Amino acid sequence: MPRTSSRPEQFLSILRSEPGYISGQDIAEKVGISGSAVWKQIRRLREYGYAIESLHGTGYRLAGQTDLPLPWELTRMLTTSFVGKRVIYREVADSTQSLAMALAEKDQSSHGAVVIAEQQESGRGRLKRKWLSPKGGLWLSVVLKPRIPVSGITLLPFVAALAVCAAIREGTKLDARLKWPNDVMIAGKKVAGILLNVSAEAQQINYAVIGIGVNANVDSSAIASRLGSKLLQQITSIRDELGRDANRLQLATLVLEKIESCYLELEQKGARAIIQAWKKNSDMLGHRVAVMQNGRTIHQGVAADVNEDGSLLIHTDSSGDVSVVSGDIHVRY
User: What amino acid is encoded at 303 in this protein?
Assistant: A
CB neighbours (10 Å) of residue 198?
A: 17
Pick 38 or 331: Cβ nearer ligand BTN: 331
Within 49-78, the residues that bind ligand BTN by CB under 6 A are: none
Q: Judged by CB under 6 A, which of 96, 250, 253, 316 binds ligand BTN?
A: 96
Q: Judged by CB under 6 A, which of 69, 171, 193, 310 binds ligand BTN?
A: 193
CB of residue 137 to ligand BTN, shortest distance in Å: 8
Pick 15 or 210: Cβ nearer ligand BTN: 210
Pick 50 or 207: Cβ nearer ligand BTN: 207
139 belongs to the binding site for ligand BTN (CB under 6 A): yes
Q: Among 95-103, 164-172, 246-254, 292-300, which window interacts with ligand BTN (CB under 6 A)?
A: 95-103
Q: Going residue by residue from 151 to 190, which x/- string records binding to ligand BTN, judged by CB under 6 A?
A: ----------------------------------------
- Count the site residues for ligand BTN by CB under 6 A: 20
CB of residue 95 to ligand BTN, shortest distance in Å: 3
Interface ranges with ligand BTN (CB under 6 A): 95-97, 120, 123-126, 129, 131, 133, 139-141, 193-195, 211-213
